[in-house]
Structure formats: C-alpha cells, structure tokens
C-alpha cells in the first residue's frame, strides 16, 4: 500500500514526505539519573574495537559488582555482553573483542587480556580483586584496558583517561 502511495505521489509530481529525523545518539558519558537504591558508575574501555566508546556512565543497583557495571555498559550501548572464562572469574571479551574462544592467550609476545583498573582520588590502581568481587559505589570508576604483556619487559599500563568520575562524566 505504501509503495502504491509513493508511485501516485511521484506520478502527480509530489515527492513522498521525508523520513522522520533520527534521534541523536545518547550521550553516553552523561549519567542517567539514579533512583533510590541505585548508583552511577563510569566504565572506561580502552584497547577494544575502534567503535567502542571510551567512557560510558551506567546506573546499577547499590551493591552491584564491577562485572554488573560492565554488563550494564554493554546493554546501554547495545553491544555484546562481556564474555567470561575460567569459571566466570576472568573477562575474556568486551564488545566482542577479542573474538571467541580467545581468553588470556599466551602468545609469542606475552599474555593478551583485559586488565582491570579502579580509580580513586590519587589515580588508577590495578584491581586487587576481581570485578565480580568488587562492589561499586556512587561515583565509582572502573576501567578495562586490552593489551599484550610479557611481564618481563612489558606490563599493563593504566588507562590514559583521567580517573575522576566528574571529569569523565561532564
């Protein structure tokens, strides 16, 4: 029916109406409002696919883990959920990178994996516990950096973005 209307419109010299404008993409660094019992968390991802947004602010239930915040990030941007391995104790893939089944691969240049970082007022710290055990709080900043390190000459480096929630989400 729509095709027939378009043909009639063209035949009569009238162009069909333009499609409605597409809403602009959600500004992912601006945090959605948090309701009672929820917290806002900035999640930083570096070293993934070039289309991965470097900062996404998410809202999760109070008492949620760093893995919950990472999963909320994937949901907010419409990406593949984080891929876990080694009994769900290790993040193997973020935004589909690296492709399955790769997980903490040991190659000729070292181990390739997602390193996990947390932020505090003094800077970035390599996480001392896994993301599944870390409870995020209001204004937490979690970061994931993908790279390859041999732990003799190369080591995981912290994210290059500022570790401050307000700086990341303004």
CATH number (domain holding residue 151):
2.170.130.30
The total number of structural domains that make up the chain: 1
Instruction: Note whether residue 103 is domain-resident.
Output: yes
pTM of the model: 0.81
Note the pLDDT of residue 103. Answer: 83
> Both tokens of residue 168?
């990341």
Instruction: Note whether residue 10 is domain-resident.
Output: no
Greater model confidence, 103 or 38: 38
Greater model confidence, 159 or 50: 159
pLDDT, tens digit (0-9, with 9 covering 90-100), for 71-110: 999 999 999 999 998 877 789 899 999 988 888 778 777 7
Question: Using alpha carbons only, how large is the chain's radius of gyration in Å?
Answer: 21
Instruction: Note whether residue 42 is domain-resident.
Output: yes
Instruction: Note whether residue 151 is domain-resident.
Output: yes
Residue 29 has pLDDT above 90, yes or no: no
Exposure string over 63-78, b if 16+ CB within 10 A, otherwise e: ebbbbbbbbbbbebbe
Whether the bond into 84 is cis, omega within 30 of 0: no
Containing structural domain, residue 127 = 23-169
Contact 55, 29 (CB under 8 A): yes
Residue with tokens 């990472």: 70
Residue 6 has pLDDT above 60, yes or no: no
In this prediction, residue 15 has a pLDDT band, given cuts at 50, 70 and 90, of very low
Residue 118 to residues 81, 88, 92, 169, Cα–Cα distance (Å): 20, 19, 18, 16
Instruction: Note whether residue 4 is domain-resident.
Output: no
Mean pLDDT over each residue of the chain, to the nearest integer:
84
Q: What are phi and psi of 94, to 5 degrees?
A: -125, 130
Instruction: Note whether residue 15 is domain-resident.
Output: no
Residue 121 has pLDDT above 50, yes or no: yes
């Amino acid at each position: 029916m729509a095709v027939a209307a378009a043909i009639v419109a063209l035949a009569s010299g009238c162009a069909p109406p333009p499609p409605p404008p597409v809403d602009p993409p959600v500004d992912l660094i601006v945090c959605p409002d948090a309701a009672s019992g929820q917290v806002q968390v900035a999640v930083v991802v570096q070293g993934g696919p070039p289309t991965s947004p470097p900062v996404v602010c998410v809202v999760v239930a109070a008492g949620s883990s760093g893995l919950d915040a990472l999963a909320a990030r994937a949901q907010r941007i419409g990406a593949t959920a984080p891929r876990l391995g080694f009994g769900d104790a290790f993040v193997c893939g973020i935004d589909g990178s690296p492709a399955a089944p790769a997980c903490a691969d040991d190659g000729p240049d070292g181990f390739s994996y997602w390193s996990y970082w947390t932020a505090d007022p003094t800077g970035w710290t390599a996480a001392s516990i896994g993301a599944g055990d870390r409870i995020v709080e209001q204004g937490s900043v979690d970061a994931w950096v993908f790279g390859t390190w041999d732990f003799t000459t190369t080591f995981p480096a912290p994210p290059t973005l500022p570790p401050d929630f307000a700086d990341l989400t303004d």
